Structure 1
Amino acid sequence: MIRLALRIGLVGALLGLLVGCSPLKVLNLLTPDGTYTKASNLKYGNDPRNQLDVYTPVNLTSDVPVVVFFYGGSWTRGSRSDYGFVGEALAARGIVAVIADYRLYPQVHYQGFLEDSAQAVGWTRQHIHQYRGDPKRLYVMGHSAGGYNAAMIALDPQWLAAVNMQPSMLSGWIGLAGPYDFLPIENPEVKPIFFFPDSPPDSQPINHVGPNSPPALLMAAQDDSLVNPQRNTAGMARRLREQGVSVRELYFSKPGHGTLVAAFARPMRWLAPVLDEVVTFINGQDPAPIDSHER
């Protein structure tokens, strides 16, 4: 208990020294940059927000797994520049990280941000070899609203079909406090994004689980007050198991909804072993199959 209090006090002191910065920017300021090389502002589509950054581990001797990460923000806000600490965390553990922006409401409603997410994954599969990433070991990961994006890309074939891909080309997907089953919508900020009260059932990731869905790692804050972990994470895990899909689900007592993703950052890893679980999951999966024309 004393150690926990000291850690909380230390983080509070660091944040106090940087008043005026957002918490995510603080984490980036406390993140080293010697573990990766970064390719910035790469365009994957025509819109100004269709850009991504690639974090490649240093000193690679062979191609390594790839994670495409989508951030949260209720599909109304967010920037890839805020999540450099995620890119660094993955690169430092030998994984190429792709962090993508996507269009947000009110520029787009549901489906626009999913079209962008699929485009980002398609770009990654096509180009990531240039950055020492292995396209046969490709994962999608997201936090909160970004977890929804990752889930839909992995579970609903229509999105990847638009970029000549299919979910079987993914080695797995990782959801952090994602909303996977949230109709009828209660959050007033989200209602117009999904055309409430006429929100389509097809908008729910849980309705797209099938026996051929990619393996999943699902993590949530035990006491998440924004995205109910029992309905969303536990419900998704149960549906995956019913279809015979491999899934690992974990709930953590220390982080909340937002600090679950902050646990990737070096000063916050005491909150939960989120990074360790991601690395273990990725290293334990077989490469995704490739089409005959790609051999």
Structure 2
Amino acid sequence: MRRRVLLLAGSALGLAGGVGFAAYSPVTVLNAFAPGAFTVKRNLAYRPGPRGRMDLYLPRQAQGAPLVVFFYGGSWQEGDKAMYRFVGAALAARGCMVAIPDYRLYPQVRFPEFLEDCAAAIDFARRLAPSAPLVLMGHSAGAYNAAMLALDAQFLAPHGLVPNRDLAGWLGLAGPYDFLPITDPALQRMFGSRAQWPRTQPINFVTPGAPPAFLAAGLADHTVDPGNSERLAAKLRAHGDAVELALYPGLDHRKLVGALSPYLTFLAPVLRDCIAFINKVAPSTR
């Protein structure tokens, strides 16, 4: 069975091409065989509307476990929490509580409204586990969301949260953090006038005292330039902030997040490295 899963998922990842991650079959394969001892509370409402729901993955022993809020990618235009069951399962099986929220997408909303949704999701998840160390995590556009919420304090402030006080750390996988000029027409409409572009870039909000960061990128990524992660890591270090940078040879944009599945750890040690970082910044108190 394990060999069959490896062949199906690996083949599908290799054939994905330029299709959005949530739109193709390897997610179905990975979700169907997501292993581990965990339970799921589905469709918890953190805000009104169909995209104001989250799924919460709980390890066998949730008491004392860190809480990871994971934001998926999709160019802020597509994505669904159900497609990332394999992420919630992988992290929960390794001792994390994992909240995966949906959030409103373009064209329903534009910058910064999707970030405001993500901030509301964080606040809701925190209230479910108020004593748990809080960690943000995301892939692609979701990594951008995590970065903005960790680095620009204005989004968490309405919820009484302060990033360098209330976040144990954050992880960004293949995130766009420094992508000016914006050339894609849809992104131009999404992020507004050229005059406000600088305030849309996570790299412009780096200050001393930022929460610890883990930045990962695949060196074969032609969707989001790995230089985004390298430049942000360099700026964080220059300001004295704790940051780990992991660059994985041979991984493209989709294989990087796919490697979070226990069935695809042969691609690269992404899951191991993420868990090691989470355990370092938010050790279990069990």
What is the TM-score when the length of structure 2 is the normalising length? Answer: 0.89
Residues 286 and 61 of structure 1: is their aligned pair in 2 closer, same or farther, counting only changes over 3 Å?
Answer: closer
- Please give the secondary structure, in 1, of the residue aligned with 2:274: helix
Post-superposition CA distance 1:101-148 (Å, at most 9, x none): 00000000001110001001111111125xxxx43x110000000000
Deviations 1:53-82 (A, max 9, x none): 100011x17320111000000000000000
1:220 paired with 2:217, answer: yes
Q: C-alpha offsets along residues 215-268 of structure 1, whole Å, 9 cap, x if unaligned? A: 0000001121111111x1000000100110010001111320111111111221
How far apart in 1 are the matches of 2:160 and 2:188?
31
What does residue 54 of structure 1 align with?
56
2:25 paired with 1:22: yes
Partner Cα separation in structure 2 for residue 61 and residue 259 of structure 1: 29
Confirm whether residue 38 of structure 1 aligns to residue 40 of structure 2.
yes
Q: Distance in 1 between matches of 2:13 and 2:110?
A: 38
The 3-state SS of whatever aligns with 2:85 is helix
Work out which of the two has the higher radius of gyration on C-alpha atoms and give 1 or 2.
Answer: 1
Q: Which residue pairs with 2:188 in the alignment?
A: 191
1:273 equivalenced with 2:284 (yes/no):
no
Residue number among 136, 140, 157 corresponding to 2:136 in the alignment: 140
In the alignment, is the contact (CA less than 8 A) between 1:156 and 1:208 conserved in 2?
yes
SS at match of 1:258: helix
Q: Is contact 2:66–2:282 with CA below 8 Å preserved after alignment?
A: no
Q: Tell me if 1:78 matches 2:79.
A: yes
Partner amino acid, structure 2, of 1:261: V
Superposed CA RMSD in Å reads 2.1
TM-score normalized by structure 1? 0.86
Correspondence for 1:290: none
CA distance in structure 2 between the aligned counterparts of 1:112 and 1:269, rounded to whole angstroms: 35
Per the alignment, residue 208 of structure 1 pairs with 205
143, 146, 149: which is aligned to 2:145? 149
CA distance in 1 between counterparts of 2:282 and 2:135 reads 12
Displacement of 1:178: 0.3
Among candidates 239, 251, 255, match of residue 255 of structure 1: 251
Q: Which digits, 9 at most, give the CA deviation of each residue in 1:137-188, with x for residues without a partner?
A: 1100000000000000100000000211110200001000000011111334
How many percent of aligned residue pairs carry the same amino acid?
Answer: 46
Unpaired segments ≥5 residues, structure 2? 1-5, 16-22
CA distance in 2, matches of 1:211, 1:105: 32
Q: Does 1:167 align with 2:169?
A: no
2:93 counterpart residue number: 92
Partner Cα separation in structure 1 for residue 240 and residue 262 of structure 2: 35
Number of the residue aligned with 2:126: 125
Check 1:211–1:25 CA distance in 2 against 1; reply closer, same or farther (3 A cut): same
Letter in 2 for 1:242: A
Letter in 1 for 2:75: S
Alignment partner of 2:43: what SS?
A: strand
**Contact map agreement 1:67 1:140 (CA 8 A) in 2:** yes
